[in-house]
Amino acid sequence: MRLLGHPVHAMVIHFPIALLTMAAMWDVVALGFDVPFCWSVSFWSVITGLAFGVPASVTGLMDYAAIKDNPPAEKAASTHMMLMFGVIGVFVLSLLARGGAVPAGVARQWLATGLDLLGAAILAAGSWYGGELVFRYGIGQAGTTKPK
């Protein structure tokens, strides 16, 4: 999917990546320094990151459907997609574990923090596969769907 000649997916991925990654950092600060405000910032970072993840997911699925006759790119795109959907699942579990913007019990805080750190790690791996699609296989570059 393109807008004014540029791939839309590449335009909309930055906010979810930044917000979900920062959520893990805010959790660590909240736990390590006992700063309840950081717990709230993390909660809202996850909520906002997941909301911004909706257009990223939709445009990514549209780009995925456009890959044709390129098995290596299709495999990388499938791995990228599965990892990113896994990220969404992990961060949804984090929201359920934390129970809201107010700090929950210590065990729930540790669980949510662990889930956010896991989600950030999976996000990094999924983003790497996204980079493979663009830089190795040329996906999204001037309509390219085949390797260079």
pLDDT tens digits, one per residue of 62-116: 999 989 889 999 999 999 999 999 999 999 999 999 999 888 889 999 999 999 9
> CA 103, 109, 114: angle at the middle one, nearest 5?
145
If you average pLDDT over residues 30-38, what whole number do you get? 92
Give the separation between CA 48 and CA 60, rounded to whole angstroms.
18
The helix, strand and coil proportions of the chain, stated in percent and rounded to the nearest 5, come to 80, 5, 20
Mean pLDDT (the chain) is 92
Domain boundaries, the chain: 2-136
pLDDT tier, 7 (very low <50, low <70, confident <90, very high otherwise): confident
Q: What percent of the chain lies above the pLDDT cut of 70? A: 95
For the record, the structure tokens of 125 come out as 């791996």
pLDDT for the residue 4: 75
pLDDT for the residue 143: 53
pLDDT for the residue 142: 67
pLDDT for the residue 24: 96
- How many CB atoms lie under 10 A from the CB of residue 65? 10
Higher pLDDT, 106 or 143: 106
If you average pLDDT over residues 46-62, what whole number do you get? 96
pLDDT tier, 145 (very low <50, low <70, confident <90, very high otherwise): very low
pLDDT for the residue 103: 84
Closest Cα partner for 7 from 49, 80, 59, 57? 59
